[in-house]
Amino acid sequence: MQVFSSILDPKVTELLTSGAVGVIPTDTVYGLVCLATSQPAVERLYAMKQRENKPGTLIAGQLQQLIDLGLKARYLRAVEHYWPNPLSVIIPCTDLAYLHQGKVSLAVRIPADETVRSLLLQTGVLLTSSANQPGQPVATTVAEAQSYFANDVDFYVDGGAITDHVPSTVIRIVDDAIEILREGAVKIDENGRISQ
């Protein structure tokens, strides 16, 4: 198990693209991450989180990466004005069952953080889930993440304490109406516009 000081360390990209599972500071909280195109890595991440029928979130550096993964362009283009932002949108997804775990939808976002986007442009789409165990607080430091996952993950990136970040807002669009599933870092008004 390795610890890095930057998510832009070339070894982080190398590990992720070879199917590793790690913990990195995302645009919101510390996240457990793996390459979304690696089914074995995805299954390992879900096993670590003891998750069934509760898929994680896909984060991408740009819209085209999500389309290339297999998500429908029409759904993505309808919400692309929300990104980049700490705002996740639930998108219908009939394929990629290993990712959506039978939910037939996935939460996706393009992070506002430029460093995170730079990593994603190198790795491709990552699956992420908060770095904690069910019912436990989200890790705000690498030490806390290590207390949850120890040597089960392949690497950690120490981005310092993340105590001021708020989880992403999660929304779903149903018949042209915005349904807010989780209030978070971005506020959405009743018309579906980002409010400051």
Predicted local distance difference test score (pLDDT) of residue 176: 64
Predicted local distance difference test score (pLDDT) of residue 40: 96
The 10s digit of each residue's pLDDT in 174-196 is 666 677 777 777 777 766 777 75
Predicted local distance difference test score (pLDDT) of residue 190: 67
Average pLDDT on 115-123 reads 96
pTM of the model: 0.90
Q: How far apart are CA 46 and CA 33, in angstroms?
A: 10
Predicted local distance difference test score (pLDDT) of residue 102: 82
First vs last C-alpha separation in the chain: 41
Q: How far apart are CA 25 and CA 140, in angstroms?
A: 9
Do 101 and 51 meet the contact criterion of CB atoms below 8 Å apart?
Answer: yes
The 10s digit of each residue's pLDDT in 24-81 is 998 878 999 999 999 999 999 999 988 666 788 999 999 999 999 999 898 888 888 8
Confidence of residue 165 (pLDDT cuts 50, 70, 90): low
Do 185 and 177 meet the contact criterion of CB atoms below 8 Å apart?
Answer: no
Residue 164 has pLDDT above 90, yes or no: no
Amino acid symbol at 29: V
Predicted local distance difference test score (pLDDT) of residue 167: 73
The 10s digit of each residue's pLDDT in 125-162 is 999 998 998 889 889 899 999 999 999 999 999 999 88
Predicted local distance difference test score (pLDDT) of residue 53: 66
Q: Identify the residue with better confidence: 164 or 56.
A: 56
Q: Which of 168, 132, 124 is nearest to 153 (CA)?
A: 132
Predicted local distance difference test score (pLDDT) of residue 78: 83
148: phi then psi, degrees, rounded to nearest 5: -85, -40
Q: How far apart are CA 54 and CA 86, in angstroms?
A: 20
Mean pLDDT of the chain: 88
Residue % of the chain over a pLDDT of 70: 93
Average pLDDT on 3-19 reads 96
